Amino acid sequence: MNIAIAAFTHRGVNLALKLTEVLGGEVFAPVRFSREGVRPIDSPLAEWAGRYFHEAGALIFVCACGIAVRAVAPHIRGKMTDPAVISVDEAGRFVIPLLSGHVGGANDLARKIADFLHAIPIITTATDINGLPAIDEWAVKNDCAIENPEAVKHVSSRILEGCPVGVAITHEDIPAPFAVTLMLRPRVLVLGAGCNRGVSPADFDSAATDFLKGAGVSPLSLKALASIDIKANEPAMKIFAARHNIPFMAFTADELNGLAGNFTASETVRRFTGTDNVCERSCMVCAGEGAVLLRNKAVYDGMTFALARSVLHQAE
């Protein structure tokens, strides 16, 4: 996680530098406190906070809560997208997660900091203080996308009331099974693809979307796009991966050929790429040991797609 730590006194800077020993990250402070390992805050604090609010996974302020709150307030958008924001007093006695306790991981990060400093973590989220599971935190730890974040509040309140809740954890595109269902999409799918050089990004996106719909799966369950290394710089593939916020993994022909199994072979594909099948082999290699080929090669105009499911490992 990319972490930015801001401090505003000599004592605070010392504590911030100490935190980097366990957290990594970068320390920032006003210019007058600059020294080795400390980058200057050379703009208004709210402006600095706005930049790192979007660039960092966590913002830690070694200062009073009020300073931190005023700095990030103009940039807050929502619990599903905001980074973790934490305040630590300069004496290192209290650690307070202010934003994104669950999805952004601020609660866990605050506990880690508190353990390191022998401080007291001030956790205020209702499920935590009642010793109950936080479904959005569980989703993040188990690499599940939250399809309908508006349902998190409903489910959490029902948990607090001791009532049954509706949660569906599936990569399949199925109707919601309960009146109010929190849909969690485990990121277990790898889309394998091959295409002609210069294929239109719009055409690739349209074909891939149609393929996934035909497979009966949610695009939110994609964990990667895979292909052969000669397509590593294909614009359409890179744009599709970026749009879905997934890595684009490219493998050599030798890596693809090293995978045992029955695949839809093509001598034409072998002649041009060095392997008899790109889409099926690449998604299976990328999905890893224990993967299952969910949908075989499907041919579109100048494109091919296949789909594999990897094994879901549940966090403890």
Per-residue pLDDT of the chain (316 residues; tens, 9 = 90+): 799 999 999 999 999 999 999 999 999 999 999 889 999 998 999 999 999 998 999 999 999 999 999 999 999 998 888 999 999 999 999 999 999 988 889 999 999 999 999 999 999 988 888 888 788 889 988 999 999 998 998 888 888 888 888 999 999 999 999 888 999 999 999 999 999 999 999 999 999 999 999 999 999 999 999 999 999 999 999 999 999 999 999 999 999 999 999 999 999 999 999 999 999 999 999 999 999 999 999 999 999 999 999 987 655 4
pLDDT computed for residue 221 by the predictor: 98
Give dist(CA 90, CA 64) in Å, integer. 8
pLDDT computed for residue 316 by the predictor: 47
pLDDT computed for residue 129 by the predictor: 81
Whether the domain at 3-124 and the domain at 189-309 fall into the same CATH topology = no
Domain at 189-309, CATH homologous superfamily = CobE/GbiG C-terminal domain (3.30.420.180)
pTM value?
0.77
Which of 82, 7, 79 lies closest to 50 in space, CA to CA? Answer: 82
Distance of CA 118 to the CA centre of its chain: 30
**CATH code reported for the domain at 3-124:** 3.40.50.11220
Delimit the domains of the chain by residue range: 3-124, 135-186, 189-309
